Structure 1
Amino acid sequence: MIQTRMMRRGFLTIGTMAAAGTIAAPALLRAQTVPPTRTLADTMAADPRFARFLDLISRAALVEEFRSAQPMTVFAPTDAAFFGAPANLLQQLTGTGGSQDQVDRQRLAALINYHVVPGAFRASELMGNDRRLRTRNGADISINGTTEGVLVRNPAPAQQIAGFGAAGANLNAQPARVVAADIVASNGVIHAVDQLMWP
């Protein structure tokens, strides 16, 4: 009888503490259950690895697209990815080369949207050989995901209906490699890649 009363008293004490909020979930559990609050645009802006890609997004006036509520997966080229890209083509698109200082927003948007897939895909969901995903510019990318990493490439340069035109031919000799996966934002997922992908 005395033991039963003590047990009841113990349960009441624990219940009171839990109601008062004095028993907290472990810090690791709390961190996992708190959803991210930064959008894709804000997440890239806070990460110095994506400064050049975000500059392209700004020049194409697409920043608000990356702040929209719809979920997206972004294969975002790191700043290092731009070193292997044809500088003259990037200058044409951004209006930074030659006498003409005008951004080619249509082609620049096609390039940016070729790095974006509707829906939020984690790296674990990209496993498998030669998976095709339709990008936001209407052309396909091919994904090969293995335990050694995720590779992304244009399966048919200069032949896709929503492509970039002939300028995209032969620019993707090697697939882009995901170098940092599952950077989660409030409206999607970013996978950092080591090359620009040309539609």
Structure 2
Amino acid sequence: MIQTSLPRRGFLTIGSMVAAGTLAAPAVLRAQTVPPTRTLADTMAGDSRFSRFLDLITRAGMVEDFRSAQPMTVFAPIDAAFQGAPANLLQQLTGSGSQSGGSQESVDRQRLAALINYHIVPGAFRSTELTGAERRLTTRNGSDIALAMANGAVTLRNPSPGQQTAGFGSAGMNVAAQPARVVAADIVASNGVIHGIDQVIWP
């Protein structure tokens, strides 16, 4: 009796440990794969790197667009990206003599919306889906952006400056010599993906 009971107790103990392990693993996996609950708008609001871009979205009256269920990929300029942007043009768009002033009545919402929409592509694309050969994607603005890889980073540029205005009217005059780079990839929200970029990209 002693010889048969000890192995059985050992088996039960090991079996309990295995059972506990198999029960614990799915819980860990579930915790790692819980989908995000914050929208694109709320995600940017909670990330101080995007305060300037969110300010433009707010002035254009487009916050609810970023809370919609429709999936979007947002190439959002980080705050530092605005240091190299044409200040006079931004003031025209926001209707202010400074980045913090201006009334809602003086905001050029049509052109501001065109600029913001040039940073948005319908559908949710992770960075792994944007790598590889150069490609063009059509933005919500209606104009194309060109994506490529350079030094291990995804880059974006206006592929046809002066030929695609799409409601903005600048005709590519403010396009930078160097493409914008993705510097903060794959910030996932409930309705899309945000990729932080180091420049404002102009239609």
SS in structure 2 at match of 1:162: coil
TM-fit CA distance, 1:157: 1.5
Give 3-state SS (helix, strand or coil) of 1:128's partner.
Answer: coil
1:94 aligns with 2:98: no
* Residue of structure 1 aligned with 2:154, choices 130, 150, 153: 150
> Taking structure 1 as the reference length, what is the TM-score of the superposition?
0.86
Instruction: After TM superposition, list the pairs within 5 Å mapping 1:1-199 onto structure 2.
Output: 23-25=23-25, 29-97=29-97, 101=103, 102-145=106-149, 148-160=152-164, 162=166, 164-166=168-170, 168-199=172-203
TM-fit CA distance, 1:169: 1.8
Alpha carbon RMSD of aligned pairs, Å? 2.8
Q: Distance in 1 between matches of 2:153 and 2:31?
A: 26
Q: TM-score, normalised by structure 2?
A: 0.84
Give the Å deviation of 1:158. 2.3
> Which blocks of at least 5 consecutive residues in structure 1 are unaligned?
none
Q: Aligned with 1:168: secondary structure?
A: coil
Instruction: Give the percent of matched residue pairs that are identical in Structure 1 and Structure 2.
Output: 68
- Cα separation, 1, equivalents of 2:115 and 2:194: 16
Q: Relative to structure 1, is the Cα distance of residues 26 and 147 closer, same or farther in structure 2, using a 3 angstrom cutoff? A: farther
Q: Provide the rounded CA distance (Å) in 2 between the counterparts of 1:15 and 1:130.
A: 50
Q: Can you give the 5+ residue segments of structure 2 that lack an aligned partner in the other structure?
A: none
Shift of 1:86: 0.4
